[in-house]
Every structure is written in C-alpha cells, then in structure tokens.
Amino acid sequence: MEVFFEDTKPFKIKKSVLKKYIISLISNELKKTGSITIIFCSDNYLLEMNKKYLEHDYFTDIITFDYVENDIISGDLFISVDRVKENAEKFNTTFLNELVRVIFHGVLHLAGYKDKTTPDQQLMREKENFYLSGVDLSEMEL
C-alpha cells in the first residue's frame, strides 16, 4: 500500500496500522490484497479528476479507480482531505474516524459493493460501520 499527498498539506498516520485494517477488511470479504494506492488531495484537485474521468461537475469525498482482477483487490483511492474534514464536522465525528470510513468505503467499492440505490447505500453503510467498529483509531495516530 502506498500513500501520496497531492495539492494538500501532508498529515501523519501510521500506514502500517491502516494497511493491517485494510487487509483484514479484504480478507473478511474473502478477497486477496493486491496493490492499493491512496492519494490524499484537495477538493479542487478531486473536482478536476471528477470532471476529467467521470464527467461529474461536483465535489466528492472519494473517487475509486478499480484495477481488480479476479479476487485480487487493487485500485487507486483519491480522497479529498477538505471534504473529509467538512464531513467530520457535519457528522460530529473526528477527522480520523471519517477518514478511515472513506478509505473503507473505497475499498468496499473495490470488493464489489455499490452505492447508487438506497438498498445498496444502506448495505455499504452497514459494512462501513461493521469494519469501523473493529478499528482502534488510537493505533493510527503518531
């Protein structure tokens, strides 16, 4: 797992611990872990990506590029740090909790979960909550 920062101030997170939780999620979904790259970026950077690759002209918290082959989970997760901060305030949670939720959301997409319909959104949220409940956020802080 690789982590990069584009057009946003880098922050510290224990990548080894995050990786452990991502591998656990993937294993729990009966898949194998391939190459996962997380790119933390600004709202504007992700907006341009959203326009260019998805033809969507709006802000979002994450865009997932799926490179999954068979049951090997691989992909790029582009995450707006600005949007995660805003959503953490909106949903009265910590930045780190919301950040991990968004990362898990992207990995769940790679595992095959969708979120276009209400039932799919409910299942996605249940999965996010399930995996978040097993996370000790204090392990990730430096």
| Residue 44 near residue 83 (C-beta atoms within 8 A) | no
Per-residue pLDDT tens over the stretch 87-112: 999 999 999 999 999 999 999 999 99
CATH, domain range 2-139:
3.40.390.30
**Which residues of the chain are under the pLDDT cut of 70?**
142
CA distance 109 to 112: 5
Q: What does the angle CA 31 – CA 135 – CA 99 come to, to the nearest 5 degrees?
A: 90
Question: How far apart are alpha carbons 12 and 64 in whole angstroms?
Answer: 22
Confidence at residue 67, expressed as pLDDT on a 0 to 100 scale: 97
pLDDT of residue 19: 97
Mapped onto helix, strand or coil, the DSSP state of residue 65 is: strand
Each domain of the chain, given as residue ranges in start order, spans 2-139
